[in-house]
Amino acid sequence: MTVAGGGRVQEPLLVADAAANLLAEQEAHFLATMDAAQVGIFVVQDRLFKYVNPCFLRLFGFTAEELVDRKGPLDLIIPEQHPFVLDQMQLRAAGVSGHNYELTAVHQNGSTFPVQILGSPSSYGGRAASVGTLLDLSAQKAAERRIRELADFDPLTGLPNRRLLRDRFAQLLAAAEREEGEIALIFLDLDHFKRINDSLGHSVGDDLLCEVSGRLSAAVRRIDTLARLGGDEFIFALPGIHAAAAAEVARRLLDVCVTPFVVGGHELTITPSLGISIYPQDGKDLETLLKNADAAMYRAKEVGRNTFQFYASEMNTATLERLLMESNLRRALNQNEFVLYYQPLVNLQSGLIIGVEALIRWMHPDLGLIMPDRFIHVAEETGLINPIGDWVLCEACRQAQAWCDAGLPPITMAVNVAPVQFRQAGFVAVVAGALATSGLEAARLELEVTERTVMYDADINLGTLSALHRMGVELSLDDFGTGYSSLAYLKRFPVGKLKIDRSFINDLEVDSDDRAIASTIVSMGRNLRLTVLAEGVENAEQLALLRQMGCDMAQGFHFSRALPAEAIARLLAEQPFLNKEA
């Protein structure tokens, strides 16, 4: 190459220019990448920031001029955590790789927020430094707090739920045993509450429940626990209360309901019926006392309502009925009286039926079809749930493979697993045997376990879940939001699906709290890369709201009730919900 004057450009100059251009281009790409990053990125050297990206600046409210070479990590972290941060900086400077840890960061305005840090050793300007990422955990922590609230408190009234009642009662029981004291348990049920829901709507009924809970709370002591079990059922745990004092409390509770409630422009009068059981004479654990207080409450309804009754042992005729039920269940198992019905699981984007849930029914020779709520609790109490559950598992796998062999589209077969069944020795082997006998692919079987099931001895149950996951079986967390919800464990459990409990779907179109809870669960599931299914969908309004939230799947009467195998085969062939706004 020549230039004016006859000279020739030196080839090394061309190479240097090309290298400089390449370096400038790489630097531009690096800066563009850092600018677009949605996590904070920083470089620290000599305890000062040498580089921070725009996301980092936005999180803390500083400009680059205010941070770079002026401030370091200790200026952005609460003082209590300075020793830990100093240790981490020294480790990075020594070349030791870091790991994720959480800190409490301080914004420029003085507010604090949780962050997750990951640092790695590096170099800057030829000297030791560390590079790291910073993630704002505010949204995640808020979701965890909400889940904890769902675990312990009734979302409608804010009262403790059954789980928190159980925890508090355990403390009361321990104290009563030490001090040889008494505990009164009062079971309160509102009379004819269903009429209000049916005539004025669930929103009015919910407002009434909130008003009632407010009055009831004001009528007891600070040391007492008032819990809502669900529906219109309330429980009072009263430490240090003997029978006479419990009667006075019951009269006071009746009195607070005398004044009409003004709800939604309606003046409503509602009366309660109460049953009372006393520790230790009526029971020495919560479940026994609850059962006996419940029996006394029904006795109060029988004698005219708007009154209270103490438990008496002769009320417990249910014991004999349970023994008869147990005998009949054993006969039903031996004589193959159980049948399975199946409810479709529908993909909300396509309308395709991509699975079914197997639901047991009892075809009694004299009484006809008996629903599971009539007998499952007896099966669980007597241990019969294990052989019954094993039969359900084997029959469901056999039927799913039979549909495949008949040329129907392959689907997922979802099977509920009872807590006792899940915890039985050899459960994983039972699942493996059902798959081997039927020939069904493991990926086509989905086991549904409740939060309460997996959170009971969570670390032990993690081993069972992991073994099933390695086998290829899909795992679903049922009744999500109603039990021991814990993101700390949820991220460890190999579950692929969350099922929003029907209690949050029933009033979805009229209850803003239910919508908020359902939306939170859908969002959390999406962030955790889990499929979310809503159960109990009964109308088009609920379906539309779930679609707007981004819910993946649904089941419920809006699509179909649980049907026999032959009817499901027709639905699978016809796919009636496909590409339709159901």
User: In the predicted model, is pLDDT for residue 538 greater than 90?
Assistant: yes
Residue-level pLDDT at 487 = 65
> Is 90 within 8 Å of 43 (Cβ atoms)?
no
Residue-level pLDDT at 142 = 84
Name the percent of the chain lying above pLDDT 70: 89
Which tens digit of pLDDT belongs to each residue from 424-463? 888 999 999 999 999 999 999 999 988 777 776 666 778 8
- C-alpha triplet 433, 437, 442: angle, nearest 5°: 65
The token pair that represents 413 in the structure block: 């077969």
User: In the predicted model, is pLDDT for residue 377 greater than 60?
Assistant: yes
In whole angstroms, how far apart are CA 458 and each of 88, 189, 493? Answer: 32, 34, 9
Would you place residue 569 in the very low, low, confident or very high pLDDT band (cuts 50, 70, 90)? very high
Name the percent of the chain lying above pLDDT 90: 58
Residue 356 is given by DSSP the state: E
The token pair that represents 48 in the structure block: 């000062």
Residue recorded with tokens 């709290």? 513
Pairwise CA distance, residues 535 & 368, whole Å: 27
> Mean pLDDT, to the nearest integer, of 509-528?
90
- Encode 143-157: b = buried (16+ Cβ within 10 Å), e = exposed: bbebbeebbbbbbbb
Residue-level pLDDT at 47 = 92
**How buried is residue 215: exposed, middle or buried, by Cβ count under 10 Å (0-12/13-18/19+)?**
middle
Phi first, then psi, for residue 230 (nearest 5°) are 140, 155
- C-alpha triplet 488, 527, 98: angle, nearest 5°: 60
Residue-level pLDDT at 2 = 46
Pairwise CA distance, residues 70 & 80, whole Å: 21
Would you place residue 19 in the very low, low, confident or very high pLDDT band (cuts 50, 70, 90)? low
The model's pTM is: 0.49
Strand duo 272-279 + 40-45: pairing: unpaired
Instruction: Specify the amino acid at residue 288.
Output: T
Which tens digit of pLDDT belongs to each residue from 113-122? 999 999 889 8
Would you place residue 18 in the very low, low, confident or very high pLDDT band (cuts 50, 70, 90)? low
Residue-level pLDDT at 274 = 95
Pairwise CA distance, residues 172 & 168, whole Å: 6
Residue recorded with tokens 């559950």? 389
**How buried is residue 260: exposed, middle or buried, by Cβ count under 10 Å (0-12/13-18/19+)?**
exposed
> Is 249 within 8 Å of 178 (Cβ atoms)?
no
Q: Which domains does the chain have, with CATH numbers?
A: 37-136 (3.30.450.20), 142-316 (3.30.70.270), 331-573 (3.20.20.450)
Residue-level pLDDT at 479 = 74
3-state helix/strand/coil string of 167-213: HHHHHHHHHHHHHCCCEEEEEEEECCHHHHHHHHCHHHHHHHHHHHH
What is the average pLDDT score of the chain? 87
User: In the predicted model, is pLDDT for residue 9 greater than 70?
Assistant: no
Which tens digit of pLDDT belongs to each residue from 213-256? 999 999 999 999 999 988 899 999 999 988 888 988 999 999 99
User: In the predicted model, is pLDDT for residue 380 greater than 90?
Assistant: no
Which tens digit of pLDDT belongs to each residue from 35-90? 777 889 999 999 999 999 999 999 999 999 999 999 999 999 999 999 999 999 88
Please name the helix (run of DSSP H) or strand (run of DSSP E) that holds residue 332, with its range, or none. helix 318-334
Residue-level pLDDT at 536 = 92
Which tens digit of pLDDT belongs to each residue from 194-208? 888 888 888 999 999
Residue-level pLDDT at 14 = 64
